[in-house]
Amino acid sequence: MKTTQSWRSKKYKVRRIKRGEVRGVDSWRYVTALARTLIWPTCHERLAENKEFLLMEDNAPAHDSDFTNFERMKEGIAKVDWPPNSPDFNPIEHLWELMKSRIQTRRGRERVTNLGQMKVMLKAEWERITVEEINKEIAKLPIIMLKCIEKHGGNKFHA
């Protein structure tokens, strides 16, 4: 079965993986089906506009394998060099923790018994996050980075 997917306003036919199939996205599939056809052409467009362009991907195994890195280097596309495990450098991770804490507090008063109720609760907690809370998490980043540098890498440096 094929479904139309949109990426940067371009339409692509993608085969859906059925539940129970043990095939996922490995580095070969990532490079051949996604990177070469969708991601890297856009990277080349960005590089033409800005020679300082860097591709930003997480360190998922398919994104950071020897094969993927070699193929990306052949394309001349540089990638942001992330630490191997850097959730503390991403403010959204701290906002997820805030939401989790608030939901756990609410669970004492409200029972969530189905997916629909959980979606409602998640949406409500997401909407409760203020710009001030977001800015507070962003303001912590220099302190977190200094702590990481002092410890020569690693993670879980809460400010």
Ordered per-residue pLDDT tens for the chain, 159 residues: 444 444 445 555 555 555 555 566 788 888 988 899 999 999 999 999 999 998 988 778 888 889 999 999 999 999 987 765 566 777 888 888 898 888 888 766 677 778 888 888 889 889 999 999 999 988 988 888 888 788 776 555 555
Report, in angstroms and rounded to the nearest whole number, the Rg of the chain calculated over CA atoms: 20
What's the pLDDT at 5? 45
CB atoms near residue 54 (< 10 Å): 13
What's the pLDDT at 24? 66
What's the pLDDT at 91? 81
Q: Does the pTM exceed 0.85?
A: no
What's the pLDDT at 87? 64
What's the pLDDT at 43? 93
Residue entry with tokens 């495990």: 85
Strands 2-7 and 10-15: antiparallel
Answer yes or no: are the C-beta atoms of 126 and 133 closer than 8 Å. no
